[in-house]
Amino acid sequence: MRGDRRAPTTSPFRRAHEWADTIEQSRGGTGLPGDCRAHFASVLTATGEWTRAEAEARTACEEALRFDFGHVGLAEYELGVLALRKGDIAAADTA
């Protein structure tokens, strides 16, 4: 099983990762808001950090459900992509 591989330091995904880490630090380490988490889950998926991507996507679903259904959809999509990459067709279908 693949996963948790880091992207090269020059990639756009790496820069997005750094951007998200900076925002999180500026918020006192409390995490990103739900809508940002949904996008960050996409970055984590693309950079191979599947475990963290899944956690961020699940949290984004819970947080964004209160105010932004579009980002819930994005987070659910990422959960489906992760499930497919892991070979879990049933979980992908559920997402």
Average pLDDT score over residue span 27-53: 80
What type of residue sits at position 26?
S
pTM exceeds 0.85 for this model: no
Q: What are the angstrom distances between the C-alpha of 84 and each of 41, 49, 64, 70, 80?
A: 15, 15, 23, 21, 6
Looking at residue 4, its pLDDT comes to 47
Which residues, 6+ apart, have CB-to-CB distance to 29 below 8 Å?
Answer: none
Average pLDDT score over residue span 23-33: 69
